[in-house]
Homo-oligomer: A and B are copies of this chain.
Amino acid sequence: MAPTTSSAATRDRILTATTELFRRQGYNGTTLSQIVEASAATTGSIYHFFPGGKDELTAEVLRVSGAGYGELVEIVIRSALDPATGMHNAFEAAGQLMIETDFIDPCPIGTIAREVASTNEPLRLVAADVMQGWVERLAAVLVDAGIDAAQSERLASMSVTTIEGGFVMARTLKDIGPFLSAGEVVRQLIADALPE
């Protein structure tokens, strides 16, 4: 509806290349010259689309990929018979992805959030928005399954916490065992909360 032909493609290339680099090396570990090379764009293009420089680009990466992950997880969960097995499937899928990609971070947002939380308040706020969005979206799914609002919120928050912690463990240990068994615990927690 809005596209100005090739320009949007360049912007997209910049965003996806940056996301990919962030997944491997985080925010401070990624340089603009790496982004230029990986996206086949130029410095000029980056500053054209993101006049605020690296921080504005990072904020957009957090928003776009954050929304993408939230949507993906919701689809996986809703396509299962119930949210408990759906959550289990999401853990399985993420674990499979990590193995296939040699434990590249499935999602750079937690890493970046922890990197910048004390030093870059605007980016911290964007990351907080994204995570809050995940919790709310997940809580809505649980409410739809008949769990009351307060417990849905707690379970959703616990799910996101466990996923993020699981990423730390899996990536560090290069082993998805702890991640999957954490997923099993979350599955059980949700199953116990489900009506009848």
Contact = CB atoms under 8 A, between A and B. Distances in A.
Q: Is the interface of A mostly helix, strand, loop or mixed?
A: helix
A95 interface: no
Counted per complex, copies of this chain come to 2
Interface string A165-181: 11111011110011101
Contact of A119 (B24, B154, B167): B24
Contact of A160 (B111, B169, B171): B169
Interface residue range, chain A: 35 or more
Contacts of A178: 135, 157-158, 160-161
A104 interface: yes
A42 B131 CA distance: 41
A118 interface: yes
A105 B131 contact: no
Nearest to A175: B128
Contacts of A189: 185
A116 B194 CA distance: 39
A138 interface: no
Interface of A: 23-29, 103-105, 110-111, 113-119, 124, 127-128, 131-132, 135, 154, 157-158, 160-169, 171-174, 177-179, 181-182, 185, 189
